[in-house]
Amino acid sequence: MTMIPDDDPSRSLTVASPDAPGTTHISLVGNTYTMLITGEQTNGRYCLIDMRVPDGGGPPPHRHDFEEMFTILEGEIEFTFRGEKHVARAGSTVNIPANAPHNFRNVSGAPARMLCMCTPAGQDEYFMRIGDVVAGPDAPAPRLSADELAERRRRAAELAPAYRSEFL
């Protein structure tokens, strides 16, 4: 008697590259998020996002009911976890437990890059619904008017509960 289910041949191997044609790049809060592996590709198990964070970039304080793991590829990122600051440098991995208040900010004076895995998936879809599609991982963020910025914030706040997130 086997303990694991049979292979599902309807699922295929995924090889992801941030530079591959057809890859979605999202500009959000000054960062560029590249959707490497989506929840659609993993049956909702997880998503993997390549995050390019310029100096000064990062989201506001928030929390969500899913696990989030970051591996710093380049530069360094300051994480605030339950009110305490921690600096993670290239090669480090940071795990944020579900429901814990946190945020991150690049205060290093140079660009940073990290991989973010969320399990289960959903954050990828949320980012695609609230951000702006850009041409590539190094594409400039669109210049948004004050009204457009206000609309992005309104949409992010309105959709946050549907994606199990809360801004603090």
For 81, other C-beta atoms within 10 Å of its C-beta total 16
Report the sign of the C-alpha dihedral through residues 103, 108, 109, 110, in that order.
negative
Q: For 142-154, how does the pLDDT look when each residue is reduced to its tens digit (9 = 90+)?
A: 999 999 999 999 9
Q: For 26-84, how does the pLDDT look when each residue is reduced to its tens digit (9 = 90+)?
A: 999 889 999 999 999 999 999 999 999 999 999 999 999 999 999 999 999 999 999 99
Global confidence as pTM: 0.94
Mean model confidence pLDDT for the chain? 96
- Measured CA to CA, the distance from residue 116 to residue 109 in angstroms comes to 21
